[in-house]
Amino acid sequence: MTFDRSIKIAPSILAADFANFGAECAAVEAQGADWIHVDVMDGHFVPNITFGAATCAAIRPHIKGVMDVHLMIAPVDAYIEDFAKAGADVLTAHVEAGPHIHRTLQAIRGAGMKAGVALNPGTPASAVSELMDLVDLVCVMTVNPGFGGQKFIDMTAKIKALREMIGDRPVHIEIDGGVDPKTAPLVAQAGADVLVAGSAVFRGGSVADPAPYGDNIRAIRAAASGVWA
Ligand code: DX5
Ligand code: ZN
């Protein structure tokens, strides 16, 4: 994984056909996705359950690029090795998931993955100010985590504060929740480079008819780059 700040579109498979993850990942990659975002939920940290490391391992061979795993689970540490074995490139834990996020991030890097830290909408940027040298990605939630298809919450001031905190470090700012061609320019201008989008990518298409995925990805990318498609 090389670092740059160009806009990267990361479709969230939370909005894909759960009976067909492998083909869905291949389809969105063929249609221009940069990363694949994989949402792991435990029904405890968030009020919804998706799947775990075994499912990530099963879909890994169907992803050519970056597998970006977003853990919405607590506790985290006991599962880090499982996600490394499953082939996660980026593993993101929530700063709210426990008292020892510093140890968690060290363990993620120690297991050979890029480390991400995510912030819920109610958590200030200052909650991660001591972690900047331990992370490769900061994920700003623009919805309360747990479900796809929710309304975007404006976190522009937080994104700008994080961008300043990051300085010259090779740390991505990822935005997760309610990203579409209308909201993408706001977050891109504030300093984000990885845009997660579930419903706004998968709507209108399917594995049998994937062209709408490409239209949707291009529309978000163009909007984020300041060119309305
Ligand atoms: C929310 C997840 C998101 C979600 C985004 O808890 O972390 O990744 O899938 O879905 P949309 O783009 O539909 O808001
Ligand atoms: Zn997510």
10 alpha carbon – ligand 1 mean position (Å): 11
- One pLDDT digit (tens) per residue for the chain, 229 residues: 899 999 999 999 999 999 999 999 999 999 999 999 999 999 999 999 999 999 999 999 999 999 999 999 999 999 999 999 999 999 999 999 999 999 999 999 999 999 999 999 999 999 999 999 999 999 999 999 999 999 999 999 999 999 999 999 999 999 999 999 999 999 999 999 999 999 999 999 999 999 999 999 999 999 999 865 4
Domains of the chain in start order, with CATH, are: 8-224 (3.20.20.70)
Q: Choose among 58, 53, 56, 55: nearest CA to 67.
A: 56
Give the pair of three-digit tokens for residue 202.
């998968």
198 lines ligand 1 (CB under 6 A): yes
What number does the ligand 1 atom closest to the CA of 201 have? 12
Q: Choose among 152, 194, 177: nearest CA to 46.
A: 177
User: What does the longest C-alpha to C-alpha distance in the chain come to?
Assistant: 47
Pick the residue whose CA is nearest to atom 1 on ligand 1. Answer: 145
What number does the ligand 1 atom closest to the CA of 48 have? 6
Q: Which ligand is nearest to the CA of 70?
A: 2
What residues contact residue 214 under an 8 Å CB cut-off, 6+ apart? 31, 32
86: phi then psi, degrees, rounded to nearest 5: -75, -10
Give the pair of three-digit tokens for residue 109.
């890097």
